[in-house]
A and B are shown apart, each in its own frame.
Chain A
């Protein structure tokens, strides 16, 4: 096995770059923005969240290919929807200058590991000439006045907050310099500011903390500001380790279940054997109440809640409950039944099937959206007040929904947003917070509610099962039509997100689409000149708990699309890379393809049973291309590892990404790396099997997320230096192109075009399923036999 390498390569410096092309032309440095100085005794600078951007999406068609009309995402994508939905209700975000030479900023977003706290520190430090450590960024509690502006979804955070934060920071810096100039009796222009120390020409200096009172304003006023010239950036674009790295490696970082809230004892729900079943009656409530360590047992909507001194005792009590259950929402159904319904709901293709048509239909099975931290929340609901602690990407929606459920006013609910242990889209929902609030109300006591792993895996949210049909009409040297029909179990869109999107939908060039259709239309683009290009989504609501999972449709659509692109290339007698490069719609997209081919040594000779595969994906104002090497030789596929999936192994990944302006390349590389490892799981090993109304998989020994023995020994992530003046979305961007590349590599290595994903979904299960009653697999007792 070749030795491991994971490097980030940065493009050559901006000055040497050829002329810019593609989206987002606008020189921010010359524009002026409006900020506010907020009345107070120390300096508070503020700006409105929601801002302008100008688009130029002229496709640069290559000569041969039949140009496709621009598709919606090329001019207006999900990021724009999220930003524009924020505009009318935008309120102020504030940077406070403290007397101790720090500045504080409460970020109205949720950080679940994606590093936005660190990148926000960098943005503020850059504009104010500080060290990022001087910037204290916390997560804001739910602020209803921000409405859509407190939503962390669709990889939108940096894109939507970048300029407003800079405006507030630049304003604060300007006021501090003014105050220093007055204090030192110097002209403002001769002052320099470094790490918060403002120095005059004579060497005298003042720490900015001492100036905050003088720089404060007696009344709130609007001020025009200009932003720092991007050529002068010294922090943005430099790799920076996450600011909480030390806390994370010493065990000091506190997640929700680590918090010690007085009286909030461990609480677990006993859940139904069926997906979304609920309790009708409990035979032994009183008996279970007397079990060791147990304080309360009550029947609530979705199950029977048990509160006790330790989670272990709660689990034992849950497993002892004798409950009569009502059927769930997919009672008796299995994978095949769902697939049949999906196929029946598929929308027709528009272009006729011709003798030369290429057609493919691909099936994507359910995948679990469980992060390593299971769903959890602390709730203290007493009297007419509720206080909630938990991770949430949409705390305002959570606050409103919880208030409604509890029957109290929204402002009686305080939601403290905690840093989450992974999200990947799931924490747009607040299932645990809602549940904790109801349980706390029913018990009249604070609770620390946690889903067990089995709950999370079997009853949690999933990436929905879907089919993707594609038909391409191909002539001797061109593609005249390329049509996609994606049919999916409905993806639930959380209330906050759905309001934002439907509100924006009318203003966007979208027509009258539903929320999901809007997301599909604003995220999916066929990045090649394939003539008439249509992409339609149909969703069927079948009673599943779903959510996006580091992206909603892209990984599946990209897998299907890239497999078909390889087939078209083969039909035209072209190399998969050269064909893509020739047919790419924009020069910026072609650039990532060309770079990845060069970096990966595309076309090098590969042993029998192994192959390279290539994929491209365009989304979130960025472009990515991936080349993988896949080993499908029997000795690799059949290697045995206890309680694990092995199968084909990705031995090398080369990933080239252009996501616009990069704030923190080290953080971006981590996001891509995580996405790539997700792509391996999505394509090769990870799925849920629906059987008799429930998901079979109950834990990580059933659900095979990527492990060390699956991860590519070699990984090379290349971040292109972008000409774009602003950052695009990054959190979900590593996956889709990788999925496409893996699928294509598999077809090339084995000669078989796969028709369902993950590839091992129909293999015999390598485990004995855990029972559904009792619902939680008991902890083993032999842990001292497995030490090393």
Chain B
């Protein structure tokens, strides 16, 4: 069985698993890092959203063999460390706005929000309703309006 090595939340990890297993299951089932959630497995619900080299991606739709040893994968568990703080400003904004209801979608929402803000900044765009409406993450508890407020607040502190 092939061995796959990559960086996960700042640490180098190695797993023995078949090439075609999607990264989400490698992270959740084998490495037991359970922040990224399963909601569809086909890159449409965005509950598994994490970062690869600082950009948002969906590990349910990436084969583990496509990850290189130097790739840095960050899940919600590692987000705060990327800013060397106990909480990332986006997480704080989420708490301040009491966004999460059941919480199942929220790791993905927060990871997507952070990447969206960075993307807007890089492209010189406002983090406004139009930018937020590009996010596809589902929240079946339906508190989208609080998500909007939290993204705008979190963006200010990023």
Q: Which of A's residues lie within 8 Å of B, judged by CB?
A: 1, 3-4, 6, 112-115, 239, 241-242, 244-255, 257-258, 260, 266, 292-293, 309-313, 315-316, 370-374, 419-424, 450, 452-453, 643, 666-667, 670, 673-678, 699-701, 705-709, 711-713, 715, 776-784, 786-788
CB-nearest residue of chain A to B119: A788
26 interchain pairs (CB within 8 A)? A3-B129, A113-B102, A241-B96, A242-B98, A242-B100, A244-B100, A246-B95, A248-B103, A249-B110, A251-B36, A255-B37, A310-B17, A313-B25, A315-B41, A373-B104, A374-B39, A419-B102, A453-B45, A677-B143, A677-B144, A700-B45, A708-B144, A713-B129, A783-B23, A783-B61, A788-B55
Complex Cα spacing A782 to B43, Å: 9
Among A310, A676, A712: residue with most chain B CB under 10 A: A310
Contact partner, B138, options A241, A674, A700, Cβ 8 Å: A700
Contact A244 B103 (CB under 8 A): yes
- With contacts A242-B98, A674-B141, A699-B40 taken as known, whether A708 is within 8 angstroms of B132 at the C-beta atoms is yes
CB-nearest residue of chain A to B132: A708
CB-nearest residue of chain A to B65: A781
- A784 contacts across to B, CB distance below 8 A: 52, 57, 62, 66
Contact A715 B62 (CB under 8 A): no
- A242 contacts across to B, CB distance below 8 A: 98, 100-101
Contact partner, B142, options A112, A293, A420, A673, Cβ 8 Å: A673
- B63 contacts across to A, CB distance below 8 A: 781
Complex Cα spacing A466 to B80, Å: 48
Q: Give the distance to chain B from A733, nearest Cβ to Cβ, in Å.
A: 13
Q: Give the distance to chain A from B35, nearest Cβ to Cβ, in Å.
A: 3
Contact A245 B76 (CB under 8 A): no
Q: Give the distance to chain B from A186, nearest Cβ to Cβ, in Å.
A: 41
- B22 contacts across to A, CB distance below 8 A: 312, 779
Which B residues, 126 to 158, have Cβ-Cβ distances below 8 Å to chain A?
A: 129-130, 132-149
- B41 contacts across to A, CB distance below 8 A: 315, 452-453, 776-777, 779
Q: How many residues of B contact A (CB 8 A)?
A: 81
- A419 contacts across to B, CB distance below 8 A: 102
Contact B52 A787 (CB under 8 A): yes
Complex Cα spacing A423 to B38, Å: 16
Contact A715 B25 (CB under 8 A): no
Contact B101 A115 (CB under 8 A): yes
Contact B143 A674 (CB under 8 A): yes
CB-nearest residue of chain A to B56: A788
Interface: B60 (CB within 8 A):
yes
Complex Cα spacing A453 to B104, Å: 14
Interface: B8 (CB within 8 A):
no
Contact B25 A781 (CB under 8 A): no
Which 6 A-B pairs have CB atoms at the shortest separation, nearest pair first?
A113-B102, A251-B35, A421-B104, A248-B103, A783-B61, A677-B142
- A666 contacts across to B, CB distance below 8 A: 98
Contact B76 A251 (CB under 8 A): yes
Contact A783 B29 (CB under 8 A): no
Q: Give the distance to chain A from B119, nearest Cβ to Cβ, in Å.
A: 5
Contact B140 A370 (CB under 8 A): yes
CB-nearest residue of chain B to A641: B133
Contact A373 B66 (CB under 8 A): no
Contact A245 B52 (CB under 8 A): no
Contact B102 A422 (CB under 8 A): yes
Contact A113 B101 (CB under 8 A): yes
Contact A670 B144 (CB under 8 A): no
Complex Cα spacing A310 to B103, Å: 23
- A667 contacts across to B, CB distance below 8 A: 98
Contact A787 B26 (CB under 8 A): no
Q: Give the distance to chain A from B56, nearest Cβ to Cβ, in Å.
A: 5
Complex Cα spacing A242 to B100, Å: 8
Contact A312 B21 (CB under 8 A): yes
Q: Give the distance to chain B from A651, nearest Cβ to Cβ, in Å.
A: 11
Contact A113 B144 (CB under 8 A): no
Among B39, B77, B87, B140: residue with most chain A CB under 10 A: B140
Q: Give the distance to chain B from A775, nearest Cβ to Cβ, in Å.
A: 12
Contact B45 A372 (CB under 8 A): yes
Contact B142 A674 (CB under 8 A): yes
Contact partner, B103, options A253, A257, A423, Cβ 8 Å: A253
Q: Give the distance to chain B from A118, nearest Cβ to Cβ, in Å.
A: 9
- B132 contacts across to A, CB distance below 8 A: 708
- A452 contacts across to B, CB distance below 8 A: 41
Contact partner, A250, options B18, B87, B146, Cβ 8 Å: B87
Complex Cα spacing A530 to B19, Å: 68
CB-nearest residue of chain B to A734: B142
Q: Give the distance to chain A from B12, nearest Cβ to Cβ, in Å.
A: 20
- B129 contacts across to A, CB distance below 8 A: 1, 3-4, 713
A-contact bits for B26-69, CB 8 A (1 contact / 0 none): 10111010111111111111010000100111111111001000
CB-nearest residue of chain B to A419: B102
Q: Give the distance to chain A from B152, nearest Cβ to Cβ, in Å.
A: 8
- B40 contacts across to A, CB distance below 8 A: 453, 699-701
A-contact bits for B88-113, CB 8 A (1 contact / 0 none): 00010011101111111111001000
- B104 contacts across to A, CB distance below 8 A: 113, 255, 371-373, 421-422
- B138 contacts across to A, CB distance below 8 A: 372, 700, 705, 707
Contact B149 A707 (CB under 8 A): no
Contact partner, B145, options A310, A420, A715, Cβ 8 Å: A715
CB-nearest residue of chain A to B23: A783
Q: Give the distance to chain B from A274, nearest Cβ to Cβ, in Å.
A: 22
- B29 contacts across to A, CB distance below 8 A: 266, 309-312
Contact partner, A374, options B32, B38, B145, Cβ 8 Å: B38
- With contacts A421-B104, A784-B66, A788-B55 taken as known, whether A673 is within 8 angstroms of B42 at the C-beta atoms is no
